[in-house]
Amino acid sequence: MFPEAFKYSVAKSVNHAIKWLLNTHGSAFDSFSSGILGLLLWVQGILVSIPWWAYIAFIAVMAWIATRKIIPVIVLAVLPVFIGMFGLWHLALETLALVITSVVIALAIGIPMGVLMAEAKYFAEFIKPVLDAMQTMPSFVYLIPAMMLFGLGKVPAVIATLIYALPPVMRLTCLGLQQVPKPVQEAALAYGATRWQLLKEVRIPLAMPSILAGVNQTTMMALAMVVIASMIGARGLGQEVLMAINRIDVGRGFEAGISIVIMGIVIDRITQGLAKRWDPNRK
Considering only 23, 31, 136, 281, the residue that binds other proteins (CB under 8 A) is 281
- CA dist., res. 129 & res. 155, Å (int): 26
In the complex, least distance from residue 116 CB atom to other proteins, rounded to whole angstroms: 20
Report whether 109 contacts 47 (CB < 8 A).
no
Q: Helices 154-178 and 204-224 sit at what angle, rounded to 10 degrees?
A: 150
In the complex, least distance from residue 128 CB atom to other proteins, rounded to whole angstroms: 22
Secondary structure of residue 122 in the 3-state scheme? helix
Nearer to other proteins (CB atom), residue 12 or residue 182: 182
Side chain identity at residue 279, one-letter code: D
In the complex, least distance from residue 181 CB atom to other proteins, rounded to whole angstroms: 8
Binding mask of the shown chain, residues 187 to 226, with x at each position contacting other proteins by CB under 8 A: xxxxxxxx--x---xx--xx-x------------------
Residues with Cβ within 8 Å of 13's Cβ and at least 6 positions away in sequence, in order, are none
- CA dist., res. 211 & res. 216, Å (int): 9
Stretch that binds other proteins, among 62-70, 131-139, 235-243, 274-282 (CB under 8 A): 274-282
Radius of gyration of the chain (CA): 22
In the complex, least distance from residue 60 CB atom to other proteins, rounded to whole angstroms: 28
- CA dist., res. 225 & res. 214, Å (int): 17
Q: Does 121 bind other proteins (CB under 8 A)?
A: no
Nearer to other proteins (CB atom), residue 193 or residue 242: 193
Q: Does 141 bind other proteins (CB under 8 A)?
A: no
- CA dist., res. 50 & res. 21, Å (int): 40
* Region 154-193 residues binding other proteins, contact defined as CB under 8 A: 183-184, 186-193
In the complex, least distance from residue 193 CB atom to other proteins, rounded to whole angstroms: 5
Nearer to other proteins (CB atom), residue 7 or residue 182: 182
The DSSP annotation for 200-237 comes to: IIIIHHHHHHHHHHHHHHHHHHHHHTHHHHHTTT--SH
In the complex, least distance from residue 43 CB atom to other proteins, rounded to whole angstroms: 32
- CA dist., res. 173 & res. 214, Å (int): 7
Residues that bind other proteins (CB under 8 A): 183-184, 186-194, 197, 201-202, 205-206, 208, 280-283
